[in-house]
Structure 1
């Protein structure tokens, strides 16, 4: 297992714990869907490590898995992706008031879910590979939902105290992460197998992006607590 894989899991866990601490201390229900989202990531990424066990153990259960339909861990990410979009959508609905935005976010979230389900039913490829162009589609969905939140934020008085809540920091991190990584996944099919330099760049870029993302999530939940503490002391 690469050291970076362990580091990512540690950062994911720290981010989930930080979000949980914020939630427990503030009792802010609008944050709860994102706390669930982070813990889902921790669980999925932990379970998804099982292919690493194929070469380091002779356990009969692991051998059976290695020779079964779930040899590849893509199936768990095929479950994770629609759940992640639903939780992010629920999180943004909880932090917006505009009914049109709610309807658009709900429509986009469930359209993505039904699209995923329909594709795997038709192609019977659930255990074989992920959804083609999934990152592009999910980026469009996330981008639209986040822009609806930012549009409402700019038009409201909340813009004056955006730095006191983790919602702004989280949405910006999500937006930038998806936008920055989308071009990388677009060119995967063209260069990944034939260009080792691109492969090395892709790995480095992904590693760096994930480190920044989960470090930023941790900051996003711990930093605003200082303002909550000041408010409680007044």
Structure 2
């Protein structure tokens, strides 16, 4: 298993991510008049961020990257912190505010997202050196708490409406389920990132397994949801 992960972790992770993006692009026409189109754009955005985030593995293969290797941007932690963790807080704040109907829930989503983002920015400013060399656990917790809050509001509203009778046809249900479990499962791993080195391969393999299976679940859920769901136009939200 360890050898398999070493050789195929990146391929599997980005492969399943690309599958979800491909399905999203193929289904874009289907969802062109719905809020779901923004989610498809976000999938493409995340895939691009992940692809750019591979730059540390290119040191020695691309000559001009030597400039980056000898700078504060040597590691890709800053990239994923800004464009994935903070990006997720903001995007899903926008997305869930769009799909929720209850005004109290919509306001709560905006409030939670805004406060989390502001706290995160200040935390980065006061921990700027750590920001470039590792993941900041507090930011992952803020992201997790925000996403879980958004999805819980959605689940409560779904249970209180007649939509629950056809939940399996709702893309937002698949998105919420995938997000809820992915953040809930992966966030605790960040607290042990100090062990993420070649000196402790047992933890590295455990981390890879957790993220690989979490990503498989999340992106397959996205892909299935995009295929089987029935579009709901923004006019009917």
Same-fold status (TM-score > 0.5) = yes
Q: 1:118–1:183: structure 2 CA closer, same or farther, 3 Å change rule?
A: closer
Shift of 1:186: 3.3
C-alpha distance after superposition, 1:57-87 (max 9, x if no partner) = 2x43111111122111112112112111111
Q: Say yes or no: does 1:89 pair with 2:93.
A: yes
- Contact preservation (8 Å) 1:12, 1:42: yes
Could you say what secondary structure the match of 2:136 adopts? coil
Shift of 1:113: 1.6
Q: Say yes or no: does 1:177 pair with 2:193.
A: no
Shift of 1:26: 3.2
Aligned to 2:120: 116
C-alpha distance after superposition, 1:123-158 (max 9, x if no partner) = 333433332332222111111110001100110111
C-alpha distance after superposition, 1:145-201 (max 9, x if no partner) = 100011001101111111112110110111011112233333444x55675433322
More RCO (CA 8 Å, sep 6+): 2
The alignment yields a C-alpha RMSD, in angstroms, of 2.1
Give 5+ residue unaligned stretches, structure 1. Answer: 229-234
Partners of 1:20 and 1:211 lie apart in 2 by 19
1:44-83 mapped onto 2 (5 Å cutoff): 44-55=49-60, 57=61, 59-80=62-83, 81-83=85-87
- Contact preservation (8 Å) 2:88, 2:143: no
Q: 1:29–1:120: structure 2 CA closer, same or farther, 3 Å change rule?
A: same
**TM-score calculated relative to the size of structure 1:** 0.86
Shift of 1:204: 1.6
Aligned to 2:209: 204
* Count of aligned positions: 223
